Structure 1
Amino acid sequence: MKKRHLTASIALAATAALALAGCASGGDGGTGSGSDGGDDTASGDKGTITLGFLPSWTDGLSTAYLLQNQLEKIGYDVEMKTLTEAGPLYTGLARGDVDIYPSAWPELTHKSYMDEYGDKIEDLGSYYANAKLTIAVPEYSKLNSIEDLKGKGADYDGKIIGIEPGAGLTKQTQESMIPAYGLEGEYELVTSSTPAMLTELDKAIKAQKDIVVTLWRPFWANDAYNVKDLKDPKGAMGEPEGLHFLGTKGFSEKYPEAAELIAGIKLDDAQYGELEDLVVNEYGEGKESEAVTEWVKNNPDAFETEVD
Structure 2
Amino acid sequence: MSILGKLARTAAAAATVFGLASGAAHAEKKDLTIAYVEWSDAVVATNIVKAALEDKGYTVKIVPLSGAAMWQAVASGEADGMVAAWLPATHAAYYKKLKDKVVNLGPNVTGAKIGWAVPTYVDIDSIEDIKGKADMFGGKIIGIDPGAGLMKASETAIKDYDLPVTLVEGSDATMVAALKDAYSKKQPIVVTTWTPHWMFATWDLKYLKDPKGVFGGEETVNTVVSTGLKDEAPEAYKILDNFNLSLADEQAVMVENNKPGTDPAATARAWVDANKDKVDAWSK
TM-score class, shorter-chain normalisation, is 0.7 to 0.9
Q: Which moved more, 1:222-231 or 1:123-132?
A: 222-231
After superposition, the Cα gap between the structure-2 partners of 1:104 and 1:306, relative to the gap in structure 1 and judged at 3 Å, is closer
Give the Cα separation in 1 of the matches to 2:91 and 2:140.
Answer: 24
Asked if structure 2 preserves the Cα contact closer than 8 Å seen for 1:46 and 1:77, the reply is: no
Give the Cα separation in 2 of the matches to 1:59 and 1:189.
Answer: 22
The aligned runs of 1:102-141 (5 Å cut-off) are: 102-141=83-122
1:98 equivalent in alignment to 2:56? no
The aligned runs of 1:32-43 (5 Å cut-off) are: none
Alignment partner, residue 281 of structure 1: 258
1:271 equivalent in alignment to 2:249? yes
* Alignment match of 2:184 (pick from 206, 210, 231): 206
Give the Cα separation in 1 of the matches to 2:245 and 2:202.
Answer: 21
Give the Cα separation in 2 of the matches to 1:139 and 1:119.
Answer: 43
For 1:41-95, what per-residue CA distance to the aligned partner results, in whole angstroms no more than 9, with x for missing partners? xxxx84211011233x011111111111111111211112122x21112121211
Give the Cα separation in 1 of the matches to 2:275 and 2:251.
Answer: 12
Alignment partner, residue 47 of structure 1: 30
1:61 equivalent in alignment to 2:27? no
After superposition, the Cα gap between the structure-2 partners of 1:230 and 1:301, relative to the gap in structure 1 and judged at 3 Å, is farther
Give the Cα separation in 1 of the matches to 2:170 and 2:56.
Answer: 39
Give the Cα separation in 1 of the matches to 2:255 and 2:204.
Answer: 15
Alignment partner, residue 3 of structure 2: none
| Letter paired with 2:272 | V
What SS does structure 2 have at the residue aligned with 1:242? strand
Alignment partner, residue 7 of structure 2: none
What SS does structure 1 have at the residue aligned with 2:167? strand
Alignment partner, residue 195 of structure 2: 217
After superposition, the Cα gap between the structure-2 partners of 1:306 and 1:199, relative to the gap in structure 1 and judged at 3 Å, is closer
Deviation at 1:165, TM superposition (A): 0.9
Give the Cα separation in 2 of the matches to 1:289 and 1:192.
Answer: 24
After superposition, the Cα gap between the structure-2 partners of 1:46 and 1:95, relative to the gap in structure 1 and judged at 3 Å, is closer
The aligned runs of 1:154-303 (5 Å cut-off) are: 154-175=135-156, 177-183=157-163, 186-278=164-256, 280-282=257-259, 285=262, 287-303=263-279
Find the structure with the greater CA-based Rg.
2
Deviation at 1:282, TM superposition (A): 4.9
Give the Cα separation in 2 of the matches to 1:232 and 1:113.
Answer: 24
The structure in which a higher percent of residues are helix is: 2
| Structure 1 residues without counterparts, runs of 5 or longer | 1-44
After superposition, the Cα gap between the structure-2 partners of 1:306 and 1:88, relative to the gap in structure 1 and judged at 3 Å, is closer
Give the Cα separation in 2 of the matches to 1:224 and 1:289.
Answer: 21
| Letter paired with 2:258 | N
| Structure 2 residues without counterparts, runs of 5 or longer | 1-27
After superposition, the Cα gap between the structure-2 partners of 1:271 and 1:283, relative to the gap in structure 1 and judged at 3 Å, is farther
For 1:112-171, what per-residue CA distance to the aligned partner results, in whole angstroms no more than 9, with x for missing partners? 011112211111231111110021111210011112112111222211111111110001
RMSD between aligned alpha carbons?
2.1
Alignment partner, residue 4 of structure 1: none
Give the Cα separation in 2 of the matches to 1:192 and 1:289.
Answer: 24
Asked if structure 2 preserves the Cα contact closer than 8 Å seen for 1:264 and 1:303, the reply is: no
| Letter paired with 1:94 | A
| Letter paired with 1:60 | A
Asked if structure 1 preserves the Cα contact closer than 8 Å seen for 2:52 and 2:272, the reply is: no
Give the Cα separation in 2 of the matches to 1:253 and 1:192.
Answer: 39
